[in-house]
Amino acid sequence: MIVLKDILEELNVIQTLGNLELSIEHAHTDSRKVTMSDLFVAVHGNTVDGHEYISKAIENGACAIVCESLPKKIEDGVAYIQVINSALAAGICNKVCYGKPDEELRLIGITGTNGKTTIATLLFNLFKNLGFGVGLISTVENRINEKIIPSTHTTPEVSELYQLIHSMVADGVDYCFMEVSSHAISQFRIAGLQFDAAIFSNLTHDHLDYHGSFANYRDTKKQLFDNLSSDAIALVNKDDKNGLLMMQNTKATRYTYSQKSISDFTSKILETDFNGMQIELNRHQFWTPLVGAFNAINLTAVYGIGVLFDIPSTELIIALSKLGKVKGRFELINPGGKNPVIVDYAHTPDALENVIKTINNIRKNSVSLTVVFGCGGDRDIAKRPKMGAIAAENANRVILTNDNPRTEDPSEILGDIEKGIEGQYYKNILQIQDREQAIKTAITTAQAGEVILIAGKGHESYQEINGVRHDFDDSIVALKIIESIA
């Protein structure tokens, strides 16, 4: 437990009421999680205002309240702390309550539109194989060494995040690799965290429904680098025009990686097929089961972090060559099958284009490509026609289907996608809302050697329809269909 006044030393306080010598167990932004001797931080959320739940938090045992505006009724025995920004305060309160766990390990944050999960997961596996204690915070899963913890958000809610990092420290973690989403930065979910390094992968069209404009989206990502200390490392993708912009105001030591220009860490693909590729990375050559230019650049970032944290290059290259694929990221689910079936998480225009381009660079001209994809409901509408255009112009056949329609009408989603498809491609477009049936149609009607890309969901093990989640894994569904016709 920690004394309340010690927490206040870290906050920008307007005024206080009550006893500041109270002992605090935990800090929460969810009143339902509050128990005796806890501090409740009332945060203005997107849909819920925590200030409306102050009384509930006190009923559940909160002895102190952090808020932006004091409630009309002041309870005896409860301390009140008024601050300018309670979302920011929530991070700092949790940091102090958990004993500043982020400072007890090396924390590496990865941000960007695409590649975050792959880079974070590859780093986790690399450093684990090299003998370090490792933690992972990602879209797919959270991990503490061998322990797997289900993931609900790319970046967890602030109390959960600090608790997770605290558990990592207790379990001997040396390095924590963490995806940092733009939502998490905007909502102060990473407030107070001290990053030892930050990686920027790329920036393309995504989440504009939330951020309002590409500029806001970009500047939100940039905050991660703006807040790095002079002891930290900033590693950015120089091939993306926003890479150098990310480092403009950072105090961190700056490094770059690329495939197309002179950088601290560079790579090029020497040979490739659906089973892997031969890469040259800073004059070292090795074979990897990963496929595609986007994976080559991801490996370049991973190599860069290894070097910057003093892993010998030769040891790194050997370890990199032994890394396996990341689930749902250009995952060939039937090696040796007559029709290669690839599952990929591509759910943005840039990601879809990169995956299709990779396939087209490998397949022979006589071999066709079918793309099965949809777009998520209740999300960025503007990207839908762009993805439709990319698929139609670069594949021989496109089957439009449900992704996670959530609460939105699937027909409207597919209609938005079709708006980007020009008339000459209509003959190549099918619309099958049932995703399993769409995958089955793609596989059972494929010509000899035809490549099938199932895009949009990747690692996800569910489909959300009318706000209800149903078990659905693209890889499992596709393999079941393949086995049924074998």
Cβ of 486: how many Cβ atoms within 10 Å? 8
Percentage of the chain exceeding pLDDT 90: 87
Which architecture characterizes domain 101-321 according to CATH? Answer: 3-Layer(aba) Sandwich (3.40)
What pLDDT is attached to residue 210? 59
What pLDDT is attached to residue 134? 98
Whether the CA torsion 56, 59, 61, 67 is positive or negative: it is positive
Whether pLDDT at 206 is above 70 = no
Nearest to 18 by CA among 54, 50, 53, 64: 64
Specify whether the CB–CB gap between 265 and 307 falls below 8 A: yes
What pLDDT is attached to residue 208? 53
Q: What is the value of pTM for the model shown?
A: 0.89
Segment 352-392, tens digit of pLDDT: 999 999 999 999 888 999 999 999 999 889 999 999 999 99
Segment 259-291, tens digit of pLDDT: 999 999 999 999 999 999 999 999 999 999 999
State the average pLDDT over residues 109-126: 95
DSSP state of 177: E
Question: How would DSSP label each residue in 79-97?
Answer: EEEEES-HHHHHHHHHHHH
The domain segmentation of the chain, as residue ranges, is: 2-97, 101-321, 331-485
Phi then psi for 294, rounded to 5 degrees? -65, -35
Of the given ranges (15-24, 147-156, 374-383, 434-443), which has the lowest mean pLDDT?
147-156
Length of the chain: 486
Whether pLDDT at 209 is above 60 = no
Cα 194 from Cα 100, distance rounded (Å):
9
User: Is domain 2-97 annotated with CATH 3.40.1390.10?
Assistant: yes
Residue 335, burial from CB neighbour count under 10 angstroms (0-12, 13-18, 19+): exposed
Specify whether the CB–CB gap between 37 and 61 falls below 8 A: yes
What pLDDT is attached to residue 6? 94
What class has domain 331-485?
Answer: alpha beta
**Do the first three CATH levels of 2-97 and 331-485 match, i.e. the same topology?**
no
Specify whether the CB–CB gap between 1 and 12 falls below 8 A: no
Nearest to 94 by CA among 11, 186, 12: 11
Segment 465-485, tens digit of pLDDT: 998 999 999 999 999 999 998
Segment 392-430, tens digit of pLDDT: 999 999 999 999 999 999 999 999 999 999 999 999 999
